[in-house]
Each structure stands twice: as C-alpha cells, then as structure tokens.
Structure 1
Amino acid sequence: MQIIRVEEFATVRVPVDMLLDQPHKQAISESRKLIPGGCYDFDTHEAILALHAWVVRTPQHLILIDSCAGNDKERPGLPGIHQLQTPWLRRLREHGIAPEEIDYVVCTHLHADHVGWNTRREDARWVPTFPNATYIFGRTEFDHWKNVAVEGEDVLQKLVFEDSVRPCVEAGCVRLVGDGFAVDDWVNVEAAPGHTVGHTIVRARSGAQVALFVGDVVHSPIQFTFPDVNHEACEIPEQSRTTRRRILAEAAENGHLLIPAHFPAPGFGRVSAIGDRFSFRSVG
C-alpha cells in the first residue's frame, strides 16, 4: 500500500481562540514542553495547520480521501478558501496521478474544506473532477446536509452542498454507506460522529500495519495535550470528545499511524498515552 499527500496549503495560521473552544492561552503556554514543535506559535498564539488530501494506492484501487477546498468556490465568511485558484490538480498529476485514474473519493464529512475538489467548474456547470470515481459519502452525513440544503438557514453549507455534493449525485457517481463499509480488501469506512453528525474515519490495513485517516476528529496536535478540547465548529461537543479519546486511545495502544486532515507536513505520526493525555510524534 502507498500513501500520498497532495497539498493544497502548506501553512494555515489560525488564532487559537478562533480554532478551539478552550483551553486558555496560558494553559497552552504552561504545557509548552508537551506540544510538538511546528504546530503552534507561542508568541502570537496561532495554531499552525495545513490543508491536504490523501491518496491511498492499494493492490486493487486508487482512493482519494477528503478533496480539500477546491477552486472557484463561493465561500462567504471563509476568506481563506473563498474563490481559490490553487495548482492542486497539477500537484496531483506531479505525483503521477491523473484525475481519471481515481477509483474512489471518500469524504470523511461534508464540510467545505473536505469536498471542494469533488467538482470543478466547466463552463457554467459544476462537474465531477474525478469522472471515473465512485464518491463515498456517509448516509447519515449526507442526509443531514441534504436537509440543511433544502430547509436550513446555513448559507455556507447550502453552497457547499449545491456546488460540491449535489453535482456528484446528479452525475450518478455517489454511493451512500453505513458504518463498516469496505471500499476494498484494504480500506474501510467507519462511523466517528461528533465533529459532524455523520463524521467518519477511514481505516487502511496492510498486513499488521494500520493507518487511520481521521479527518477532523482532531485538528491540531494541541488536542493531544488537551484531548477534551473541541474545534469551535464541532456540532455535538460531548460526542466529539468521546470519539476523539476513543480513537487516540486505540492508536496509542496498537501503534497505528494517525493521519489527520490538517496537521503540518509530513501530516501523520504515532500516538502515545501519557496518563489521561496523549502525545504525538511526526513520522517521516
């Protein structure tokens, strides 16, 4: 199995008060020795994040996980990803991968920065970027945001659904799945709710080795030191905490490779348990 990181943004700096619902800056400063280098600016109190997709090459398939923010998308209130023009598709090709070769696109959830490259603008239409792929969405997640698109008041998520989700449905390339869906003999999709109502993770197994693509279960390595701290956008806070602790504990106990969506390069690593906290060590 091969895992490839396809970068959209190498560095995204976010004031910690805008990212996490707690703790206070003082608590982070006092825990300086526990927080991995390169993920937090202690002078400006900014979390240092990134944005990338992952491609998993198994003996059977080429699978893309979380398609970043995408180009040309209308994202009011999110200036960092509004009307982007990035060379992400070129970077994908530089890894020797053409969009036509992708067999599956798996979205851990349907937020704007995880579905953007699901589609691209062609004339005045949005069309699937990966024309030969099956797009895998969790059924619970899809039903929730479909209802929001029809009846809700979330302007941003309405736009996300209309430009990056619905066109894939109308093209007939979406498969809605439940907990434990097997993409192939190596890759499964599993329920991990909390950040969103239908958030999922992707488990990839090669022999005795396991990689967990955890989407937004964890946003920053700060959350290893403070595992009960949520992203400010987590929809079900208590469930988000429970899911995070469960997955970090499993990764620590079994030595799994943890692969989040927003950690700075290399973007993945190993987890260790320290009492009721955790530590993270980048690998590669």
Structure 2
Amino acid sequence: MEEQAVEGRAVGGWTAEGPLALGDVGVSRVVELRSPFLPAGTFVPGAPEDVWHANEDWLAPDFWDPGSGRVVATVQTWVLRSEGKVVLVDTGVGNGRERPGSPHFEHLDTDFLDRLAAVGVRPEDVDVVVNTHLHGDHVGWNTRDVDGDWVPTFPNARYLVPAADHAYFGPDRGDAVREDHRMIFADSVAPVVRSGQAVLWEGAHRIDGNLVLESAPGHTPGSSVLRLDSGGERAVFVGDLLHTPVQILEPGCSSCLCEDPRQAAESRIRVLGRAADERELVVPAHFGGSGAAEVRRAGGKFEISRWAA
C-alpha cells in the first residue's frame, strides 16, 4: 500500500503481536497504523462488488468495513529472528515526514520504536532491513531525523533494496519521477545508500539458510517476496502483492496503486500457486485482521484454508 491510499489514522491499542515460530525462525508483528483506507471499489477496482458482500461474515470488521465500504488495513513491520540475526521486513511510514500529497502520512508522531522495543529489538540490534519495494509506507523507518538530517535508524544493518526500484524511483530518471516519490527517496532511501549500508539486489538474494528474497514485479518494478523455509515450515512474505483477502479470491485483480496491474496479477497468481502447492503460509504487508493465511487452489482461483493464529 502506497502512502496515498490512507484516509484515516488509528494507532491506539495496536502494539506487537507474536511471536510465531516457523521452524527455527521467530516471527513478530509490529503495527504502526491501522485504519479504514480507500473504498473497496477504488482500492481494488477490478473486484466485483458482490464478492465483498458475499464474504461479509468473515471480511467484516477486520478486513472490510461494510458501513463505509472501506478496506481496513495496517502499516506494519515483520520482525524475524533467524540464525542469530534480527531481520525487519519493511519499515512503515516513519515520523516527521513531509508528505504534501498524503496528509495522513505527513508529520506522523507514533511510538513505533517503542513498539519495536516491546518485542525486544533496539535499533542497534537490527542486522538486516528488507524493503520489499520502495513505496513510502515500506521504507519510512529506514531513517530518522537527527538534528535536521535524515540518518539510518538502524546503524548496524544492511538494507536490502531492489535494484529495479532504486533505478525507477531514484534521481537518474529525473523528471519522470513523481514529486511525492522523489521526496520519499530523498528522506528514506538515499541516506542509507550514502551511508554505504544499502545492498542493491536483483533476481534473487539469499539472506541466510532460512530466508531468500525473490523478485515479484508489477506493484513496482522491483517488488519482491521473502521466502522462509526452516525445519519443514514454509512462509512467503508477499509485500503488496496482496492488500486485502479479496485478492486471494480474485487474484487477477490488482490494486489502484500498482505501477503495472497486469504484471502484478501475474506475479500474484504465480506466488499464490506456489504457496498453495508447497503449503507456504502467506504473509501480506497490510491485512487488517489476522496477518497470515494458508491458501489452496479452488478451480482457477484460490481460497483461504486456514488463518494463522
């Protein structure tokens, strides 16, 4: 979910959840924001209106608010502990940002770092930061403001940045980059590149024996998924391939925020197919209720077979 999707703000009561053990990897969920976002028909324009109402008994209230018709979603970070290292998957919006095109993301002041501390992680403890893509609600806490300068929040971390997104949103494209994306890159990506902490990767990138990043383009050119395989347990952190469970039921339907909706749908169907065939737990970036689910094939589509506890 990119920053312009937000139409409300709600942070009270949502702190850390977990941990969940997947093989030898511990997983915790740290929520920065939770709120109704765009109307369902705007957010996922290709999804039939009746699919929301036909599944209202489980979509509401955690994933969809039938009263307002808005998708309920979160901005969050997944914290993984793998082979003695702390890995963060996406870093939210961040505090104190100039976001004139996204007023609900502008000048936030949340206690995200306290929530991270609640699951036992200080900024200096983080070894790896994964940005599944470079939209503003996935890179914000890459940096923080220190005396007027944006500096890396996690001083000891390697930041894994998709090379295709770095090229697409970075300064080399000049005026082809939207102004809001230019600002996001300047305050949340460029500082970790200048610090020498960024690793630009393409295709696939293995983090350790349990975790590997793989390209899944469409939402952005560099959008990626993180696969976990440990002790017979499998999961795939799918970033913004999914914004709502309705896209599991209607996998051909991309969000209004996808740079290439057709390619995003192809990536979504491929990743969900592998997840169903290999029993990978699917872990999206923005689900408002339960953060993960198992899926199975249902004809040419998919359905949810089990929610993670």
Whether TM-score is above 0.5 comes out as yes
- Give the CA deviation at 1:79: 2.2
Measured against aligned partners, the alpha-carbon deviations of 1:66-89 in whole angstroms (never above 9, x if no partner) come to 000110011122222111111000
Match of 1:151 in 2: 175
Pick closer, same or farther for the CA change 1:6–1:55 going to 2, 3 Å. Answer: same
Match of 2:64 in 1: 40
Contact 2:144-2:151 at 8 Å conserved across structures: yes
Matched, 1:178 2:202: yes
Measured against aligned partners, the alpha-carbon deviations of 1:24-75 in whole angstroms (never above 9, x if no partner) come to 4344324546857621122321111111101110123111010001100111
Contact 2:240-2:285 at 8 Å conserved across structures: yes
Match of 1:256 in 2: 280
What is the distance in 2 between the residues matched to 1:127 and 1:199?
24
Pick closer, same or farther for the CA change 1:257–1:158 going to 2, 3 Å. Answer: same
SS in 2 for 1:80: coil
Match of 1:82 in 2: 106
Match of 1:67 in 2: 91
What is the distance in 2 between the residues matched to 1:152 and 1:19?
24
What is the distance in 1 between the residues matched to 2:139 and 2:36?
18
Residue identity opposite 2:308 in structure 1: V
Residue identity opposite 2:119 in structure 1: H
What is the distance in 1 between the residues matched to 2:58 and 2:172?
40
- After the TM superposition, which of the residue ranges 210-219 and 14-23 deviates more from structure 2? 14-23
Alignment equivalent of 1:216, drawn from 223, 240, 243: 240
SS in 1 for 2:296: strand
Contiguous gaps of at least 5 residues in structure 1: none
Alignment equivalent of 1:19, drawn from 30, 39, 43: 43
Residue identity opposite 2:68 in structure 1: T
Matched, 1:279 2:297: no
Match of 1:28 in 2: 52
Contact 1:68-1:115 at 8 Å conserved across structures: yes
Contact 1:149-1:161 at 8 Å conserved across structures: no
Contiguous gaps of at least 5 residues in structure 2: 1-24
Measured against aligned partners, the alpha-carbon deviations of 1:82-136 in whole angstroms (never above 9, x if no partner) come to 1111100000011111110100101000000000000000011000000000100
What is the distance in 1 between the residues matched to 2:145 and 2:88?
19
Matched, 1:95 2:119: yes
How many aligned positions are there? 284
- After the TM superposition, which of the residue ranges 271-280 and 82-91 deviates more from structure 2? 271-280
- After the TM superposition, which of the residue ranges 101-110 and 200-209 deviates more from structure 2? 200-209
What is the distance in 2 between the residues matched to 1:35 and 1:197?
30
- After the TM superposition, which of the residue ranges 159-168 and 26-35 deviates more from structure 2? 26-35
SS in 1 for 2:272: helix
Question: TM-score, normalised on structure 1?
Answer: 0.94
RMSD, matched Cα = 1.7
Alignment equivalent of 1:241, drawn from 253, 265, 268: 265
